[in-house]
Amino acid sequence: MRLLTAAVASLALMVGAQTVSAAPVEIKFSHVVAENTPKGKMATKFKELVEERLAGKVEVKVFPNSQLFGDNKVLEAMLLGDVQMAAPALSKFQKYTKQLQIFDLPFLFKDMEAVDRFQNGPDGQKLLGSLQKKGLVGLGYLHNGMKQLSASQPLKTPADAEGKKFRIMTSDVLQAQFEAVDAVPLKKPFSEVFTLLQTRAIDGQENSWSNIYSKKFFEVQPYITESNHGLLDYMVVTSAEFWMQLDDDLRVEVKKALDEAIVYGNSIAAQKDAADKQAIIDSKRSEVIEISDAERAQWVKAMKPVWKKFEGQIGKDLIDAAVAANK
Ligand code: SIN
């Protein structure tokens, strides 16, 4: 009996020791952009905050520049448990929900303040739950900025885009947007864009100033039209399976750190947008084309019919709510 008690006690000690020395929860955070971008900096800040506050309990490993997964694979990998967090562009979720297509509608938001109002309002917050049925949890929105059009030829009016090949993200709305100006859209991963532009396999692409600068697209695209025609923002996501198996107290702390990192990322996005645009101008590698109000009106007229095409999938009320955020 005494022997049995001793055995039970030593087993308990072993289990206890195992609990004490349990490996920290690992969060692999995969993204496709450079470290010196709003998303790159947000991910680094998240890692710092988690490791400062949850040392030994949670470890964050950030993989930038598509090192681990491209955006076209990362969500599948997340559902398989191979990566725990990512922040794909909102344009890359259409396989999982049609509602997020709203963020791709051309000329929907007049500026980033309007985007903020919509994302922070009831409709934007509800959209964070739109991936739930697919096993994904939307943890928050992160800004990059408005998209500009870069090309091998100057683009001032929609007629200039006719017949030209543009790389787009995996979004049917973006496809329709370029087809609306008789251009040829091609869905390609972000990691391939520089080479496609450099080899002239494509004529142009759309992106934020920070991506055009950090990925050196401006070095191989002699013209950038400041069109501000669409939004490049992100949703930070995790899998429901990973999120729910975290201990409650850890989940609360990880979410708190993420919220703070997102606030930080959003606070530097506008400043990076302006600084990277200026760096491109200063480089003299690419001419930044400003369009007149009349020219802009032509782009709006050509592209806006895309809204009607996707109204059924997105929902008219949701589009109306986004438009209302402009006021
Ligand atoms: C990103 O900013 O995460 C990538 C955007 C793109 O694919 O163009």
Give the CATH number for residue 145.
Answer: 3.40.190.170
* Predicted confidence pLDDT, tens digits, the chain (327 residues): 444 444 444 444 444 444 456 899 999 999 999 999 999 999 999 999 999 999 999 999 999 999 999 988 999 999 999 999 999 999 999 999 999 999 999 999 999 999 999 999 999 999 999 999 999 999 999 999 999 999 999 999 999 999 999 999 999 999 999 999 999 999 999 999 999 999 999 999 999 999 999 999 999 999 999 999 999 999 999 999 999 999 999 999 999 999 999 999 999 999 999 999 999 999 999 999 999 999 999 999 999 999 999 999 999 999 999 999 999
Which H or E run includes 206?
Answer: strand 204-207
The residue nearest atom 7 of ligand 1, judged by CA position, is 190
The answer to whether residue 31 sits within a structural domain is: no
The answer to whether residue 116 sits within a structural domain is: yes
Ligand 1 centroid, distance to 147 Cα (angstroms):
10
pLDDT for 4 equals 42
Using CB atoms within 10 A of its CB, is residue 68 exposed (0-12), middle (13-18) or buried (19+)? Answer: buried
- 85's CB contacts (< 8 A; 6+ apart) are 27, 28, 29, 30, 78, 139, 236, 237, 238
Domain range spanning residue 316?
87-324
State whether the beta carbon of 42 lies less than 6 angstroms from ligand 1: no
Choice from 144, 232, 233, 236 to test ligand 1 binding pocket (greatest atom count within 8 A of CB): 232
pTM for this predicted structure: 0.92
pLDDT for 11 equals 41
The answer to whether residue 297 sits within a structural domain is: yes
Domain count, the chain: 1
State whether the beta carbon of 62 lies less than 6 angstroms from ligand 1: no
The answer to whether residue 24 sits within a structural domain is: no
Bridge partner list, 186: 167
pLDDT for 13 equals 42
State whether the beta carbon of 144 lies less than 6 angstroms from ligand 1: yes
